[in-house]
């Protein structure tokens, strides 16, 4: 009986993670005093499973979810109705791009030829026109609102998503980016190499725009915008 009561007591202090890496617990802790906020999730994939923003959504936050996969967005429209859910391919400019497509609902469909070659899995090539993150925000109901958190997981295309982003206009407090290091034997694991991270284009771009790396969980890098 005592053991059962202890379980009930400690259950109050246990939070469930929905991210594949547990990084959503880090984010939830950072924003623990903010009851409602705005997020953007690029490469959202699933509204609950392995999702970096669902924990915030449960707390009353809302925002924009973007994914290349149509069925993914259909699921978001059913389960995340307070959000704006958009089917789109995000990059640094509007252009026709090759997509290395494995199957619908795949979390590893990518526009990165390097990553597709690394994986050595069978894919088919399809083409889609990309749009920018700036345009996604500008054409949404959040265009004049403070954006607190940005999550990007787009299979080795994170740098291109941020390359033309207007950091001066949209001063996002926390950015989480997946870092794909193709020199690793195993991607998205604890094999991350800090020296390689600091040399990466993604890190240098964010550092140039006043962001500091404050945490990493496997392949998820957590950046904080420094206050000037």
What's the CATH code of the domain at 193?
Answer: 3.40.50.150
**Can you tell me the distance from the alpha carbon of 57 to that of 48, in angstroms, rounded to the nearest whole number?**
10
Q: Is residue 148 part of a domain?
A: yes
Return the exposure string of 190-204: e unless at least 16 CB atoms fall within 10 Å of the residue's CB, then b. Answer: eebeeeebeebebbe
Residues 6+ positions from 133 with CB-CB distance below 8 Å: 40, 42, 90, 161, 162, 164, 165
Q: Is residue 32 part of a domain?
A: yes
Q: Is residue 116 part of a domain?
A: no
Query: What are the E-state strand segments in 2-157?
Result: 38-42, 62-67, 84-87, 90-91, 96-101, 124-129, 131-132, 149-152
Q: Is residue 54 part of a domain?
A: yes
Residue 11 has pLDDT above 80, yes or no: no
Residue 184 has pLDDT above 90, yes or no: no
Q: What is the average pLDDT across 131-152?
A: 97
Residue 1 has pLDDT above 70, yes or no: no
Q: What is the average pLDDT across 86-95?
A: 97
Residues 6+ positions from 5 with CB-CB distance below 8 Å: none
Q: Is residue 101 part of a domain?
A: no
Q: Is residue 184 part of a domain?
A: yes
- Per DSSP bridges, beta strands 84-87 and 220-225 are unpaired
Query: 76: helix, coil or strand?
Result: helix
Full residue range of the structural domain in which residue 30 is found:
16-92+133-225
Q: Is residue 171 part of a domain?
A: yes
Structural domain total, the chain: 1
More confident residue, 227 or 123: 123
pLDDT in the model for residue 225: 98
Residue 26 has pLDDT above 60, yes or no: yes
Q: Is residue 112 part of a domain?
A: no
pLDDT digits (tens, 9 = 90+) for 186-208: 766 667 788 999 999 999 999 99
């Amino acid at each position: 009986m005592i053991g059962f009561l202890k379980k009930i007591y400690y259950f109050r202090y246990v939070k469930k993670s929905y991210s594949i890496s547990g990084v959503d617990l880090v984010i939830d802790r950072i924003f623990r005093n903010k009851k409602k906020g705005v997020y953007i999730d690029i490469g959202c994939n699933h509204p609950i499973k392995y999702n970096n923003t669902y924990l915030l959504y449960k707390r009353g936050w809302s925002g924009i979810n973007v994914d290349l996969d149509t069925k993914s967005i259909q699921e978001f429209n059913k389960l995340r109705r307070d959000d704006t859910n958009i089917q789109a391919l995000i990059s640094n400019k509007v252009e026709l791009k090759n997509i290395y497509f494995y199957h619908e609902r795949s979390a590893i469909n990518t526009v990165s030829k390097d990553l597709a070659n690394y994986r050595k899995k069978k894919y088919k090539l399809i083409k889609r026109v990309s749009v920018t993150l700036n345009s996604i925000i500008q054409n949404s109901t959040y265009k004049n609102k403070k954006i607190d958190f940005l999550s990007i997981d787009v299979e080795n295309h994170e740098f291109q998503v941020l390359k033309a982003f207007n950091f001066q206009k949209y001063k996002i407090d926390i950015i989480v980016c997946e870092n794909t290091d193709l020199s690793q034997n195993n991607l998205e694991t604890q094999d991350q190499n800090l020296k390689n991270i600091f040399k990466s284009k993604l890190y240098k771009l964010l550092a140039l725009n006043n962001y500091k790396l404050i945490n990493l969980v496997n392949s998820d890098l957590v950046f904080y915008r420094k206050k000037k």
